[in-house]
Amino acid sequence: MFIKNILNSEVQKFINTSLNSDLSNLLFKGSPFKNIDIKELVNQIEAKKKSKIKLPSWFNTEGIIFPTKLSIEQTSSEATAKFKSSLFSGKKAIDLTGGFGVDSFYFSNNFEHFTHCEYNPNLSEIVKHNFNILDKTNVEFVSGDGLEFLKNTNDRFDLVYLDPARRSDVKGKVFMLADTQPNPAENLELLFSKSNSILIKVSPLLDLKNTLRELRNVKNIYIVSLNDEVK
């Protein structure tokens, strides 16, 4: 229902014409639509604004639905996703921590079949909708724990990709591999039982020596910088 309400043509027009508006003023006025809370509208406006430079394909496509502002902040940019996707190709690949799906979208260009796993069912539904709008047809969507899906599938993959969450309810933003969710080091046996190629996105502040000790099987390390900012 949420997606249907946001896709209403008048709602989309309101979002697009409010991109440069004073958001506190919008919050004060309240929602002009009875089926949508003003906080949801403001979130769409904020998230879309953050996508203009980072995700131009999503920003410029009509009918795209945006997740929370935090999800946009945490997602890969199109530029870095394109770079990562250029490193691998094959028949099957999987993203265990799919999020807003930018990495999945570009990886799927180089694989016959791609699986996007996302624990948050609302975000999974948003990504599924957006991929349909973006005419992406070779992606399967799994709403649930990516590791659990990996344990239970009989498939093997040419690539397993994960971008573990680097935020903790207790510690806030975290940088140690052991503090991420899921922790790749604790799941190496499972990961390598399903693929010979594992790609992990980690914090640029990670202790490389300690991480190499934890992971043991590292072949390549890529340090990606975009506009002088390490990603």
53/211 Cα distance (integer angstroms): 32
Q: Say which DSSP state 137 is in.
A: -
Which CB contacts under 8 angstroms, 24+ apart, belong to 144-147?
144/117, 144/119, 145/117, 145/119, 146/94, 146/95, 146/96, 146/97, 146/98, 146/117, 146/118, 146/119, 146/182, 147/96, 147/182, 147/187, 147/190
User: What is the model's pLDDT at position 156?
Assistant: 97
Percentage of residues of the chain with pLDDT beyond 90: 71
Q: Is the pLDDT of residue 231 over 70?
A: no
Q: DSSP 3-state assignment of 71?
A: helix
Looking at per-residue confidence, does 64 or 202 come out higher?
64
How confident is the model over 199-227, as a mean pLDDT? 85
Is residue 211 within 8 Å of residue 174, measured between CB atoms? no
Higher pLDDT, 86 or 208: 86
Q: Where are the alpha helices (DSSP H) in 158-198?
A: 188-194
pLDDT computed for residue 178 by the predictor: 75
- pLDDT tens profile 75-127: 999 999 999 999 999 999 999 999 999 999 999 999 999 999 999 999 999 99
Other Cβ atoms within 10 Å of 25 Cβ, number: 9
Mean pLDDT of the residues in the chain:
90
**What is the per-residue pLDDT across 34-89, written as a single tens digit (0 to 9) for each?**
889 999 999 999 999 999 999 999 999 999 999 988 889 889 999 999 999 999 99
Predicted confidence (pLDDT) at residue 230 exceeds the cutoff of 60: no
Q: pTM for this structure? A: 0.90
What's the pLDDT at 229? 53
Average pLDDT over residues 119-136: 96
CA distance 89 to 91: 7
